[in-house]
Amino acid sequence: MSKQLTLSTLLEPWAELPTTPADEVMVSHLELDSRKVTQGTTFVAIKGHAVDGRDYIASAIERGANAVIAQASDTHCHAHVETQGNVPVVYIEELDKELSALAARLYPLERMQLIGVTGTNGKTTITQLIAQWLDLVKQRAAVLGTTGNGFLDALQPAANTTGSAIEIQHTLAELEAQGAQYTAMEISSHGLVQGRVKTLPFKAGVFTNLSRDHLDYHGTMEEYERAKLSLFTQHLCETPVINIDDPVGAKWAQQLDNALAVSLKPTQAKNAVYAKHVEYSEEGISLAFTGSFGDGEFTVPLIGEFNANNVLVAFATLLALGFDKQQLIESASQLKPVLGRMELFQREGKAKIVVDYAHTPDALEKALLALRVHCTGKLWAIFGCGGDRDTGKRPMMASIGERLADKVILTDDNPRSESPQLIVQDMLAGMDQPSAAIVEHERFKALQHALNNSSENDIILLAGKGHEDYQVLATETVHYSDRESAMQLLELSQ
């Protein structure tokens, strides 16, 4: 729950303020977006990556801000206090780097245990498997991430994988007030670099894998890797749980003294949970494990090798947190597939449709390899690439589709401000036989074509959007859902 603090008390760690109206102002809600300021809100004005919040101080005051905490500058030095329209404006040095600590003073956590999950792929699946498993062993668990924030049965939409430092702390405090004992949260590389989780105490930090993504932001894979590693080296992380089947994870596990290594293969790591035997069937994954917590086996109703890895990582994390192994084993069969993550839609006599969020080369490759094991007919791949994002992914993804699927349909993802035709041209450039690919820009029609031209033994992977129910075009965002398309075309009730 949020506290109420005077402005001067809130800012004590950073500045000793002179006796001013700031002593009288009570702060109960912080807001970074001036458009969301209402009567009694305290506006936090930082110099952001794209927008300078200090340009909107007057606007926030007009909307009813009771005070402003602003980033110091050459013209407004640290701890300087001024009033604008009877509203105190306090300037703090490098405020953009202090948001996590500032938010923690107003929205403190008392008992909640935090689990942070970072990596290119698998974050959503692992956080939701952890939360499901915790619920099954009678713990109240929430998630923060791509598919939304809150308890699994009542997720609220999230604008970003990792929200602002203030949003995160406020949301966590609200979840704790609603009874959450644990929260598993996805942590993006952007969130780590920008200090959005800087002061959060993670009971466990999880690394899934690292592959090409976000190079439009980080520039190089080395910088991207450094960003992810910082969860374990520059943040408050008690126990690192590392997937060592990923080469980057294998390297990190040797660098991090107290890491718990997780693998689908035998390992010599001194602190580890690894699989002795994994079996895949249409019913799911059966997994026998051994390692630092002893032996056991369980079955989960999920598809594909990378989900075996995700499940084992989630399981190892809960073992590291001290949960009873037998209770976890006994409840494993009740775990459910995650919304829009290798989610299967089927109807007798028709090809199976699998909706997945795969939107990176690595994720697309893993999804197709996972489905190949289950496919007795032709394997179809329908996917596109986002506009205004890393263009280097486009030929790579098309090449992977051509190599691993029997039929490829290139379609639109979120074209944003780019020409959909030019995006597809970039993709076709990565194919040995581009003329064999079908191009259908409308995702619904692409899926319709695949269904009309497939047999009941075929599997159609519809990749890229997963849980999303919108599509971002040049001038508007429209409602669109791959899951709804699958259900409509298979005539399944929603």
Which residues line the annotated binding site for ATP? 119-125
Distance (Å, rounded) from C-alpha 149 to C-alpha 151? Answer: 7
Residue 412 three-state SS: coil
- The DSSP output letter for 140 is -
Binding-site sequence positions: 32, 34, 119-125, 160-162, 188, 194, 196, 389, 413-416, 464, 468
Q: What's the token pair of residue 257? A: 């003294």
Determine how many CB atoms are found less than 10 A away from the CB of residue 244: 24
Q: Give the residue carrying structure tokens 């991430």.
A: 145
Binding-site sequence positions for meso-2,6-diaminopimelate: 389, 413-416, 464, 468
Q: Give the residue carrying structure tokens 């205004």.
A: 388
The strand ranges marked E within 357-447 are: 379-383, 407-410, 438-439
Report how far apart, in Å, the C-alpha atoms of 326 and of each of 138, 204, 241, 308, 360 are. Answer: 14, 21, 20, 19, 36
Is 466:386 a contact under the CB 8 Å cutoff?
Answer: no
Query: Can you state the angle between helices 482-489 and 443-452, rounded to 10 degrees?
Result: 30
What's the per-residue H, E or C state across 120-132? Answer: CCCHHHHHHHHHH
- The DSSP output letter for 250 is H
Query: What are the backbone angles phi and psi of residue 114, rounded to the nearest 5°?
Result: -110, 140
Distance (Å, rounded) from C-alpha 7 to C-alpha 9? Answer: 5
CA-derived radius of gyration, the chain: 24
Report how far apart, in Å, the C-alpha atoms of 386 and of each of 76, 340, 417, 420, 434 are. Answer: 41, 18, 10, 9, 19
Q: Which amino acid is at 164?
A: S
